[in-house]
């Protein structure tokens, strides 16, 4: 695969649109638009084409995963609270057979017990937690560096 061949679908789940405003001690002060801008900049450097979507609706996330199954080479997702219980989202991700990278702004393992379990992690190639918005940059670098090995 050549350097401009990769396409990544980036998905943000419920309440991620409030990043920067909601619980800044946990999720950081940077708005999602700024995280997006940095991600697009990094994607340009890495030669990765991006499609980015934030939705508060499980079904919209699932539709988007299905619709992009032939376009994307990888999926980077912060499923928000759906992480902890959405079998439907997990099934959608495993159905399309694309490498998944799970990202969380906060360190879910250092928080309430109900956040310690992710139904998405077992079907993910890699998981990045607790690095704030920078976690998405790390995930993008992982896509660039690992994808040839996992696709
Ligand atoms: C989150 C962690 C989830 O437990 C929580 O429900 C979120 C955000 C994170 O990025 O740290 O909405 O995914």
List pLDDT tens digits, range 4-59.
Answer: 589 999 999 999 999 999 999 999 999 999 999 999 999 999 999 999 999 999 99
User: Would you call 55 helix, strand, or coil by DSSP?
Assistant: coil
User: Would you call 105 helix, strand, or coil by DSSP?
Assistant: coil
User: Would you call 144 helix, strand, or coil by DSSP?
Assistant: helix
Q: What share of the chain in percent tops pLDDT 70? A: 95
> What spacing in Å lies between the alpha carbon of 97 and ligand 1's midpoint?
24
| 114-128 average pLDDT score | 98
Q: Kindly report the protein residue whose alpha carbon is nearest to atom 1 of ligand 1.
A: 80
Supply the pLDDT for residue 4. Answer: 56
**Measuring CA to CA, which residue among 78, 132, 72 is closest to residue 102?**
78
Is a pLDDT exceeding 60 seen at residue 1? no
List pocket residues of ligand 1, CB cut-off 6 Å. Answer: 15, 78, 80-81, 83, 104-106, 108, 115
Q: How far is CA 116 from CA 19, 51, 107, 123, in A?
A: 21, 29, 9, 16
> What spacing in Å lies between the alpha carbon of 113 and ligand 1's midpoint?
13
Q: Are 83 and 120 in contact (CB under 8 A)?
A: yes
Whether 116 is a known active-site residue: answer no
Q: Kindly report the protein residue whose alpha carbon is nearest to atom 2 of ligand 1.
A: 80
> What spacing in Å lies between the alpha carbon of 112 and ligand 1's midpoint?
11
Supply the pLDDT for residue 93. Answer: 98
Strand 48-54 to strand 74-78: parallel, antiparallel, or no bridges (unpaired)? unpaired
Whether 27 is a known active-site residue: answer yes
pTM: 0.95
Using the atom order of ligand 1, give the atom closest to the CA of residue 107: 11
Instruction: Look over the chain and give the mean of its residue pLDDT values, rounded to a whole number.
Output: 95
Is a pLDDT exceeding 90 seen at residue 128? yes
Is a pLDDT exceeding 80 seen at residue 3? no
**Measuring CA to CA, which residue among 100, 101, 4, 77 is closest to residue 46?**
4
């Amino acid at each position: 695969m050549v350097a401009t061949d990769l396409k990544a679908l980036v998905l943000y789940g419920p309440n991620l649109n409030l990043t920067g405003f909601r619980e800044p001690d946990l999720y950081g002060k940077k708005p999602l638009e700024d995280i997006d801008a940095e991600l697009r900049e990094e994607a340009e450097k890495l030669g990765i084409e991006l499609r980015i979507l934030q939705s508060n609706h499980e079904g919209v996330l699932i539709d988007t995963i299905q619709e992009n199954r032939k376009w994307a080479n990888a999926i980077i997702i912060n499923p928000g609270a759906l992480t902890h219980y959405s079998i439907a989202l997990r099934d959608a991700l495993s159905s399309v057979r694309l490498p998944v990278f799970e990202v969380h702004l906060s360190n879910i393992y250092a928080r309430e017990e109900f956040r310690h379990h992710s139904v998405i992690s077992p079907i993910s190639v890699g998981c990045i937690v607790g690095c704030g918005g920078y976690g998405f940059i790390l995930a993008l670098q992982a896509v660039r560096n690992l994808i040839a090995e996992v696709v």
